[in-house]
Amino acid sequence: MPWSRVLGQDRAIDTLSHALESERVAGTYLFHGPSGSGPRAAALAFGQALLCERRGTPTGPAGDACGSCLACTKSARLIHPDLHVTLPFPKTSKQADKDDRPSDYSDRMAALAAEPYASADYRQRAALGSDGASNKQVAHRRIPMEAFRREMSFVPVEGRYVVGVLLEADRIRTEAANALLKLLEEPEARVVLILTAERVENVLPTILSRCQRVRFDPLAPDVLEAALVARAGVPATEAAVVARMADGSFTKALEVWGSESMQAHRALAVQFVREAYTGRPDRIAPVVQSAQKLGRESLKGWLDLVSIWIRDLVLVRAGAVAAVVNVDQTEAVQKFVAALPKADLEAMASVVAQAVDAIEGNAHAGLVLTALAFALRDAMHGVSDGLLVAPLDAA
Ligand SMILES: [Zn+2]
């Protein structure tokens, strides 16, 4: 997985590429930053580069993996004998003294090999491939850590290095930290350890003091948007929305896109427009309450979903049905357009944009959404003056 698979993070990649080019590779790294921003993807890419057979040869790259040699192929699939990746996991049985990895451990590794930003860790995902609850009892325990230490003491089988990637290094139990500390205290030139963690302050100080730190920042929405389109096949319009809901994390972006909650958010957006049309406070209030629960950042993304719905109305009215984003809702959109010939779609779009501005300006979400519902009602009945504040004044 060469650097091109890591999103953004030019500064971190520059640092690591230079280390590879000059063969001045530190013994232990800590890649730290928000989960899903890239520490894990970069750790796997760096590990691959370290083991690449062609890197540093006259025909190969200097600061990156070639991506095509046999070593690269094996590293990318996480089956290279000199690459040891370890995830913390929950206790699986009463016998805590065994290296008893959960039965789906290798499935998770395969998921990470296919997409290093995949939501495949045990902490965020109790069961792979579901929206299941997060798992707080995840840790690196003593026995698996000692197994990891043994792996690090092997002579390289194929490559120049033995590479250990210890994911979520802030999850090391105190009793497991000794095994890692022994490794750090007796560094061997051929061993490179890459630790990842969200926050530096959660890593044990004795470990932290021995690491070269590389920081990863939250990813910009435009980076997430482009990656959603290119890597996950998300339609461009929806990618923009999902990117805004992802808090700088591509893992979260993939999660939002794949989740039922995305569908639920879309359904709530449609329901909001429908109830707004009735103009009945008793029907508008529950929808406003549900939307308010999303929190400020997600709420902006959710309002984008409302905008997309309105844009679909415009498209259908203009006869451009094929361009509709909510393809599964085409029939509903067509019915709406047919039933409301007087609706001022431009005014509808404009009051939603004003609501986004108001939310960004820290206005009270409940008030903004309620005012928006009544402004939408007026616009749908063709009596709008296009101003979000009008219903508030009238009340
Ligand atoms: Zn290679």
User: How far apart are the two ends of the chain, measured CA to CA in Å?
Assistant: 59
| Residue where the block lists tokens 């903004």 | 368
Q: How many whole angstroms from 49 Cα to the centroid of ligand 1? A: 7
Indicate whether 128 and 268 sit together in one domain.
no
Residue 131 has a pLDDT of 53
Domain boundaries, position 278: 259-394
Q: How far is the CA of 130 from the centre of ligand 1 (A)?
A: 34
55 and 170 together in one domain? yes
Query: Ligand 1: distance of its center to the CA of 95 in Å?
Result: 40
Asked if residue 74 belongs to a domain, the reply is yes
Domain boundary among 187, 217, 247: 217
- Is residue 313 in some structural domain? yes
pTM for the whole structure: 0.77
Maximum Cα–Cα distance across the chain: 78
Same domain, 24 and 121: yes
Of the candidates 347, 257, 261, 262, the one whose C-alpha atom is nearest the C-alpha of residue 310 is 347
CA dihedral 237, 239, 241, 247 (to 10 degrees): -160
Same domain, 209 and 268: no
Report the CATH number that the domain containing residue 387 is assigned in CATH: 1.20.120
Q: How far is the CA of 169 from the centre of ligand 1 (A)?
A: 27
Per DSSP, the three-state class of 275 is: helix
Residue 210 lies in a domain: yes
User: If you measure from the C-alpha of residue 124 to the centroid of ligand 1, how many angstroms do you get, rounded to a whole number?
Assistant: 32
Question: Looking at 194, 217, 240, which one is the last position of a domain?
Answer: 217
Phi, psi of 136 (to 5 degrees): -85, -15
273 & 373 share domain: yes
Say how many Å lie between the CA of residue 64 and the centre of ligand 1.
8
Q: Which pLDDT value is given to residue 39?
A: 97
Claim to verify: residue 189 and residue 288 sit in the same structural domain: no
What's the 1 CA to ligand 1 centre distance in angstroms? 9
CA of 347 to the centre of ligand 1 (A): 56
Question: Cβ distance 315 to 321 under 8 Å?
Answer: yes
229 within a domain of the structure (yes/no)? no
Integer angstrom CA distances of residue 354 from 75, 118, 366, 393: 50, 35, 14, 16
What distance in Å separates the CA atoms of residue 169 and residue 171, rounded to the nearest whole number? 5
Instruction: Say yes or no: 200 and 276 in one domain.
Output: no
Euclidean distance between CA atoms 194 and 211, whole angstroms? 9
Amino acid 72: pLDDT: 96
Residue 246 located in a structural domain: no
Does one domain contain both 167 and 20?
Answer: yes
351 within 8 A of 375, measured Cβ to Cβ: yes
Does 136 lie in the same domain as 14?
yes
DSSP 342: T
Report if residue 236 sits inside a domain.
Answer: no
C-alpha 105 – ligand 1 centre gap (Å): 26
Say if CB 324 and CB 315 are below 8 A apart.
yes
Nearest to 178, CA basis, from 220, 207, 200, 153: 207
CATH of the domain at 84: 3.40.50.300
Angle at 166 between CA 254 and CA 33, to 5 degrees: 50
Q: Is residue 359 part of a domain?
A: yes
Task: Clarify whether residues 189 and 268 are in a common domain.
Answer: no
Residue 41 lies in a domain: yes
Please name the residues in contact with 120: beta carbons below 8 A apart, sequence gap of 6 or more: 108, 111, 112, 128
Residues 282 and 368 reside in one and the same domain = yes
Count: domains in the chain: 2
Could you tell me the mean pLDDT of each successive run of 10 residues in the chain, 395 residues long? 90 96 94 96 97 93 95 96 93 60 89 92 75 71 89 87 95 89 87 96 92 96 94 85 85 85 84 93 95 85 88 89 76 89 91 93 93 94 71 43
Same domain, 60 and 195: yes
Exposure on the CB side of residue 213, measured as CA atoms within 13 A: 14
Domain boundary among 185, 201, 217: 217
Q: Residue 379: its pLDDT value, please? A: 93
